[in-house]
A and B are shown apart, each in its own frame.
Chain A
Amino acid sequence: METVPQLQRKLGILDDQFTQLQELQDENNPDFVVEVVTLFFQDTERLLNELARTLDQQTIDFNRLDAHVHQLKGSSSSVGAQRVQTVCVLFRNYSEERNIEECLKCLQQLKQEFYFVKNKLETLFKLEKQILEAGGTIPVQ
């Protein structure tokens, strides 16, 4: 299991923004990170569904597509999901070019990245919870 710093440096999955989020967590706001990340997961799943649906249409509404991707980009950057964000940037470019094939590819990649980071983060949170329940403290990186 990788630590957050490892997730950041080696794999480039998370960037500094995640560290910022961690800094915002304190005794007034103990579950801040978990809350935000959960919100992110929910939002992204919804958006991915929407994107799939939009791309399925006969005539693709690229403006709508762009709007969704923009949302996703915003969310992922707020959370610090770097790779997701990068794919969103690419997605937006292809969307502007009206390149459907590439857009579909991007969607696939997005799903991949998203599930990857979701997996990692969920594992991380589970472990943290276990530690806390066991009475320990999570070291601040």
Chain B
Amino acid sequence: MESCNCIEPQWPADELLMKYQYISDFFIALAYFSIPLELIYFVKKSAVFPYRWVLVQFGAFIVLCGATHLINLWTFSMHSRTVAIVMTTAKVFTAAVSCATALMLVHIIPDLLSVKTRELFLKNKAAELDREMGLIRTQEETGRHVRMLTHEIRSTLDRHTILKTTLVELGRTLALEECALWMPTQTGLELQLSYTLHQQNPVGYTVPIQLPVISQVFTSNHAVKISPNCPVARLRPLAGKYMPGEVVAVRVPLLHLLNFQINDWPELSTKRYALMVLMLPSDSARQWHVHELELVEVVADQVAVALSHAAILEESMRARDLLVVQNIALDRARREAETAICARNDFLSVMNHEMRTPMHAIIALSSLLQETELTPEQRLMVETILKSGNLLATLINDVLDLSRLEDGSLQLQLGTFNLHAVFKEVLNLIKPIASVKKLLVALNLAPDLPEYAVGDEKRFMQTLLNVVGNAVKFTKEGNILITAFVAKSESFLDSRTPEFFPVPSDNHFYLRVQVKDSGSGISPQDIPKLFTKFAQNQSIATRNSHGSGLGLAICKRFVNLMEGHIWIESEGLGKGCTAVFVVKLGIPESSNESKLSFMPKMSGPQTNFTGLRVLVLDDNGVSRSVTKGLLVHLGCDVMTVGSSEECLHVVSQEHKVVFMDVGIPGIDGYEVAVHIHQKFTRRHERPLIVALTGNTDKITKENCMSVGMDGVILKPVSLEKMRSVLLGLLEHRVLFEAI
């Protein structure tokens, strides 16, 4: 036997089995070699494969396994030792690599598995996000629809447009078959079909409000699905063959201005609702989605707001129109009132003049007539005319005064006057009447009563005369006592005049006059009426008296103007009465005494006219010498001229006054004045120019003023007048006697 390094196989070689093994090994090797190739190919193709080195390992393992099986092919027959060694190394390597791979796979497979789960998870997530996106998109679309609808609805303030637009837009957005609005009627017991989308003329189809389905809708502020068969939804005849579409109803609150109080928000209980009914198209499988319902609810609210705005606007427009109308009416009334007042004032001023003029004529002429020779009957007639005329004149004056007093346009004419003299004069005026009635009139002036006072002499006398006259009028027998004294503030603490607190000051004092009579008296309830216009005490005793009842009213107003108070006290009928008035008078300053030189009782020596150089122009010799005599008597240095040329020749700065007669025909006194003005341009150099004229018309006065004369005096001039004229001239440099 030869010893060869051949290795004998362990089992006897079966021909068939060996063949099959041989082929299988071959194919295994082939597959094992091709798998890595495939792997490499596909991995190269793919972008991501994290486990490259695992691939290598795996490839190696596969290759070696293949190699092993390939080498196994040679071991079926006799093979050399090299083959055996190669086989062995291959197997060893294969073992190593496969163990390593096995170990590796323990780590890798869980990873791979987890990748798979993650992938699944992500897929789920993506699906979820998709769903949500879809939802958001629908919501956004809903919102867009709502905004558009709102915009449409709110862009108009007209009710009908709002409601119509709502239905149209809703119909479009939600693709509705029909859309209807039911409004509550006036009575509130029924709902009336007011607006529909497709039917052009909804007939006044009403439905009672108490239906359960309607109450159900009204109580919820959500859109409620209702049955298509209920009365509110049965608007059209069923056109489709199948089911009518789903119907939804929602309430629309109708807000009214009255719902809004100033401090509260509207109360829900007083709300009225309209019903909006929306129908999906029939024969479609559409259903109301939640977002669509939400859309409907939002729209319903918006409609409510828009309607309330429209309502409020309507109200405010109506209120504004009303105000405009009222304003126009008020304006007209005001203008009418103003016109009336103007007319009245015009009337008064005209009447003032027109009435007084004839009155003056009557009174003046009748008094003149009185002084001529008359038979006794004539004298009686003239006296009656005079008396009536005087009465009428007084009445006219009273009425005109009163209206001026009420206007507030009467103003007191203040001046210094002799208080004692006023009382004495009133006494003198009243004495004749009193003596006829055999009444005793006594005057008691307090010793501290000032002799002079500052006030409106005329009206004070008028008041006093009126009060005393009333006392005399209403007293049949007995006596009348007039007391006057300065009022101290303590004497006013009686209850009759609680609001009157006079406070004497340094230049004012309050004069209190009381006129007490023993006449018929006045009952207490009549006392307040005494001072009202035209109200006369109608007792029998007074029926014979005259007067219009204005007297006391005017007195009261005068007294008020003098910041005083007047009242009457009486204990009752037949017990006499006392009239009291308090007026505020000013205390004249001592320097005012000099002004009293205008009083006629101031007589005597010349004042400071000595040496006053004057010029007299008069062509009438007699007149001239008389005027000269007057002025000489007053102490002036008089030069006389008989013509205007002479006057202009002679006049100089030394002459302080120039008296010229302007009634002379032939000599134009006005021209002389103009020339004098031209000659002496400076005011203090020019002599004062005074015109003497017998003309009493205004034209003369105006002419004199226009040529620049400083004064006009009426002829004949008395001594006193000349004295006062000179005084006035020198003091004020101007004197215009009232003509």
Q: What residues of chain A have their CB less than 8 Å away from a CB belonging to chain B?
A: 16-17, 20-21, 23-24, 26, 28-29, 32, 35-36, 39-40, 43, 63, 66-67, 70-71, 73-80
Task: Report whether B626 and A79 are in contact in the complex, using a CB–CB cutoff of 8 Å.
Answer: yes
What are 16 A-B pairs with beta-carbon distances under 8 A?
A17-B718, A20-B716, A20-B718, A26-B633, A36-B629, A43-B620, A43-B622, A63-B665, A66-B665, A67-B665, A74-B661, A75-B620, A77-B716, A78-B627, A79-B626, A80-B716
Task: Report whether B622 and A39 are in contact in the complex, using a CB–CB cutoff of 8 Å.
Answer: yes
Task: Report whether A40 and B663 are in contact in the complex, using a CB–CB cutoff of 8 Å.
Answer: no
Q: How far apart are B444's CB and chain A's nearest CB, in angstroms?
A: 37
Task: Report whether B719 and A74 are in contact in the complex, using a CB–CB cutoff of 8 Å.
Answer: no
Which residues of B sit under 8 angstroms from A16, Cβ to Cβ?
A: 718
Task: Report whether A70 and B665 are in contact in the complex, using a CB–CB cutoff of 8 Å.
Answer: yes
Highest count of chain B CB atoms <10 Å: which of A17, A20, A35, A77: A20
- Indicate whether A71 sits within 8 Å of B620 (C-beta atoms), given known contacts A20-B718, A78-B626: yes
Q: What CA separation (Å) do A35 and B622 show in the bound complex?
A: 10
Secondary structure call for the A interface:
helix
- Indicate whether A74 sits within 8 Å of B663 (C-beta atoms), given known contacts A36-B625, A36-B629: yes
- Does residue B393 face the partner (Cβ distance < 8 Å to A)? no
Task: Report whether B622 and A36 are in contact in the complex, using a CB–CB cutoff of 8 Å.
Answer: yes
Instruction: Find the B residue at minimum CB distance from A79.
Output: B622
Task: Report whether B665 and A75 are in contact in the complex, using a CB–CB cutoff of 8 Å.
Answer: no
Q: What CA separation (Å) do A21 and B663 show in the bound complex?
A: 21
Q: What residues of chain B have their CB less than 8 Å away from a CB belonging to chain A?
A: 619-623, 625-627, 629-630, 632-633, 661, 663-666, 694, 715-716, 718-719
- Indicate whether A24 sits within 8 Å of B622 (C-beta atoms), given known contacts A67-B666, A77-B715, A77-B716: no
Q: What CA separation (Å) do A45 and B338 show in the bound complex?
A: 67
Contact of A36 among B626, B715, B716 (CB under 8 A): B626
Q: How far apart are A39's CB and chain B's nearest CB, in angstroms?
A: 5
Contact of B621 among A29, A73, A75 (CB under 8 A): A75
Q: What CA separation (Å) do A69 and B629 show in the bound complex?
A: 24
Q: How many A-B residue pairs have CB under 8 A?
A: 69
Which residues of B sit under 8 angstroms from A66, Cβ to Cβ?
A: 665
Task: Report whether B630 and A78 are in contact in the complex, using a CB–CB cutoff of 8 Å.
Answer: no
Which residues of A sit under 8 angstroms from B663, Cβ to Cβ?
A: 70, 74
Highest count of chain B CB atoms <10 Å: which of A17, A26, A63: A17
Instruction: Find the A residue at minimum CB distance from B631.
Output: A24
Q: How far apart are B135's CB and chain A's nearest CB, in angstroms?
A: 121
Q: What CA separation (Å) do A26 and B629 show in the bound complex?
A: 10
Which residues of A sit under 8 angstroms from B715, Cβ to Cβ?
A: 74, 77-78
Which residues of B sit under 8 angstroms from A35, Cβ to Cβ?
A: 625
Task: Report whether A32 and B620 are in contact in the complex, using a CB–CB cutoff of 8 Å.
Answer: no
Highest count of chain A CB atoms <10 Å: which of B619, B621, B664, B665: B621
- Indicate whether A24 sits within 8 Å of B630 (C-beta atoms), given known contacts A17-B716, A70-B665: yes
Q: What CA separation (Å) do A63 and B665 show in the bound complex?
A: 10
Q: What CA separation (Å) do A98 and B174 show in the bound complex?
A: 116
Which residues of A sit under 8 angstroms from B619, Cβ to Cβ?
A: 71
Contact of B623 among A23, A24, A74, A80 (CB under 8 A): A74
Q: How far apart are B130's CB and chain A's nearest CB, in angstroms?
A: 129
- Indicate whether A39 sits within 8 Å of B716 (C-beta atoms), given known contacts A29-B629, A67-B666, A70-B665: no
Task: Report whether A40 and B622 are in contact in the complex, using a CB–CB cutoff of 8 Å.
Answer: yes
Which residues of B sit under 8 angstroms from A77, Cβ to Cβ?
A: 694, 715-716
Task: Report whether A24 and B629 are in contact in the complex, using a CB–CB cutoff of 8 Å.
Answer: yes
Instruction: Find the B residue at minimum CB distance from A80.
Output: B716
Q: How far apart are B490's CB and chain A's nearest CB, in angstroms?
A: 52
Instruction: Find the B residue at minimum CB distance from A19.
Output: B718
Contact of B622 among A20, A26, A67, A78 (CB under 8 A): A78
Task: Report whether A21 and B629 are in contact in the complex, using a CB–CB cutoff of 8 Å.
Answer: yes
Q: How far apart are B726's CB and chain A's nearest CB, in angstroms?
A: 15
Which residues of A sit under 8 angstroms from B620, Cβ to Cβ?
A: 43, 71, 74-75, 78
- Indicate whether A24 sits within 8 Å of B665 (C-beta atoms), given known contacts A71-B620, A74-B622, A77-B694: no
Task: Report whether A78 and B632 are in contact in the complex, using a CB–CB cutoff of 8 Å.
Answer: no
Which residues of B sit under 8 angstroms from A29, Cβ to Cβ?
A: 629, 632-633
Which residues of B sit under 8 angstroms from A23, Cβ to Cβ?
A: 633, 719
Task: Report whether B665 and A20 are in contact in the complex, using a CB–CB cutoff of 8 Å.
Answer: no
Task: Report whether A39 and B630 are in contact in the complex, using a CB–CB cutoff of 8 Å.
Answer: no
Which residues of B sit under 8 angstroms from A74, Cβ to Cβ?
A: 620, 622-623, 661, 663, 694, 715
Task: Report whether B633 and A21 are in contact in the complex, using a CB–CB cutoff of 8 Å.
Answer: no
- Indicate whether A20 sits within 8 Å of B719 (C-beta atoms), given known contacts A35-B625, A43-B622, A74-B663: yes
Q: How far apart are A66's CB and chain B's nearest CB, in angstroms?
A: 7
Task: Report whether A28 and B632 are in contact in the complex, using a CB–CB cutoff of 8 Å.
Answer: yes
Q: How far apart are A41's CB and chain B's nearest CB, in angstroms?
A: 9
- Indicate whether A32 sits within 8 Å of B621 (C-beta atoms), given known contacts A70-B665, A77-B716, A78-B716: no
Q: What CA separation (Å) do A28 and B630 show in the bound complex?
A: 12
Other A-B contacts than A20-B630, A24-B629, 8 sampled, CB-CB below 8 A, are: A20-B718, A21-B629, A29-B632, A36-B626, A70-B663, A70-B664, A74-B663, A75-B620
